[in-house]
Amino acid sequence: MHIKECIVSAPGKAILHGEHAVVHGKMALAVSLNLRTYLQLQATFTGKVSINLPNINAFLSWDVTTLSHLVPESKADLENMDELDAELVRRLRHFVGVPNGTLDTRSMAVLAFLYIYISVFAGSGELPSLTVSVWSELPTGAGLGSSSAYSVCLAAALLSASGTIPSPLSDQENTARWGEVEMELINRYAFQGERIIHGNPSGVDNAVGTWGGILRYHSGKITPLSRVPMLRILLTNTKVPRSTKVLVAGVRDKMNKFPFIINPVLDSVDAISCTCEQTLSEMTSDSPTPEHYDTLEELIDINQHHLNVMGVGHPALDTLCRVTLARGLHSKLTGAGGGGCAITLLRPETEHSVVQNTVQDLRDCGYDCWETRIGAAGVQEHSPLAVKEEVLEVLACY
């Protein structure tokens, strides 16, 4: 069969407002993060399927003929995209030697790849020989959607390679996005990858990876905001390890101990998300003004205090907020908290030297720090011309 080669990328994600509150029925704003995952898919004639994941030092290869024995005879379960084909998952786990309960990144990445690969090609009668190489600008396991960006890239590239979706690239464009129908399909396949990796994901991360921009998430319903401004931020990883499960349980304990104190705080967080959504909408319909940025900064500060009230702060995050505020910049944790990552809003007029000095200050604290943007485009296809040299070089090594 003919395999269409391609290079695709998908963004990471961060929570702008509403982390933890979302667990208790409040809305959250999830945003795309322009730290991207790049995937190159190449046709081969080796009779092998190979995956190269240099970020996690995983390079694996299987015979196509061996893999074809794993393809389910009945496709019904596989074609039901509302849940995983449990039998295929079981076979794959056995095939790659991943016992149930294993959750390490490498095993999960391999299972997700093979599952989506087989799902996409099962209907075509034969499994193709190909090599997939993935390189991500995102740190792994930091709550920044590295797994969803990976799943989205896999879905887009494999669907494109199989001819299920057309290439959006034209002669005039070196980077292009798919249409709504294709994105729906990519998102559904990516969600299967997320299910393999996370068990019971909300679907927000893959939606952000697919559509990009900013999504409202409320009681299981995901709504992309129609038009959103692109905001410059610093993304900082304190590298303080934390357990999301323990943090979520801690918030629940605090709610149980002090319901009349904590419930209003969740209401206030909900109002922060609403006000933020409204402000972002005003920034796109009118021109962004300094007052819009003042509001965004105030919302960030207030939410950071609320997250501390919920008990998901950390001294490293306090330090981060203090260090950035000393440069006039406002920060909040993003995601689970208790360490982990934070976002710092940059204003359009924030000078390059201020950004550089802040990044240096944060690195001096021992943190990783990137200047990036939120609200960036979702999954894209690129011609090699449109991909940064260093990314191409990494991908070409394998």
User: Which spans of this chain sit near a copy of itself (rule: CB under 8 A)?
Assistant: 258, 260-262, 264-265, 267-268, 271-272, 274-275, 298-299, 301-302, 305-306, 308-309, 318, 322
Minimum distance, C-beta of residue 342 to a copy of itself, in the bound complex (Å) = 17
Minimum distance, C-beta of residue 266 to a copy of itself, in the bound complex (Å) = 8
How long, in residues, is the chain?
398
Question: Cα 334–338–344 angle (5° rounding)?
Answer: 30
Per-residue DSSP letters for 136-156? Answer: ESSPTTSSSSHHHHHHHHHHH
62-71: Cβ within 8 A, 24+ apart: 62/114, 64/127, 64/128, 64/129, 67/95, 67/114, 67/117, 67/118, 67/127, 68/126, 68/127, 70/95, 70/114, 70/118, 71/118, 71/122, 71/127
**CA–CA distance, 301 with 304 (Å, rounded to integer):** 5
Contact criterion met (CB below 8 Å) for 346 and 355: yes
Q: How many CB atoms lie within 10 A of CB 290?
A: 10
Minimum distance, C-beta of residue 265 to a copy of itself, in the bound complex (Å) = 6
Minimum distance, C-beta of residue 121 to a copy of itself, in the bound complex (Å) = 51
Minimum distance, C-beta of residue 20 to a copy of itself, in the bound complex (Å) = 14
Tell me if residue 98 falls in helix, strand or coil.
coil
Question: Which is the catalytic residue, given 146, 205, 273, 331?
Answer: 205
- The 10 Å CB-count burial string (b at 16+, else e) for 69-81 is ebbbeeeeebeee
Please say which residue, 81 or 274, places its beta carbon nearer to a copy of itself: 274
Please say which residue, 25 or 47, places its beta carbon nearer to a copy of itself: 25
Contact criterion met (CB below 8 Å) for 55 and 18: no
Please say which residue, 104 or 253, places its beta carbon nearer to a copy of itself: 253
Helix (H) or strand (E) segment spanning residue 64: helix 64-68
Minimum distance, C-beta of residue 322 to a copy of itself, in the bound complex (Å) = 7
147 annotated active-site: yes
Minimum distance, C-beta of residue 309 to a copy of itself, in the bound complex (Å) = 5
Please say which residue, 63 or 267, places its beta carbon nearer to a copy of itself: 267
Tell me if residue 388 falls in helix, strand or coil.
coil
Please say which residue, 52 or 295, places its beta carbon nearer to a copy of itself: 295
Please say which residue, 77 or 291, places its beta carbon nearer to a copy of itself: 291
**CA–CA distance, 291 with 280 (Å, rounded to integer):** 12
Contact criterion met (CB below 8 Å) for 368 and 236: yes
364 annotated active-site: no
β-pairing verdict for 58-63 and 48-53? antiparallel
Tell me if residue 380 falls in helix, strand or coil.
strand
Please say which residue, 108 or 276, places its beta carbon nearer to a copy of itself: 276
Q: Which residues are catalytic?
A: 147, 205
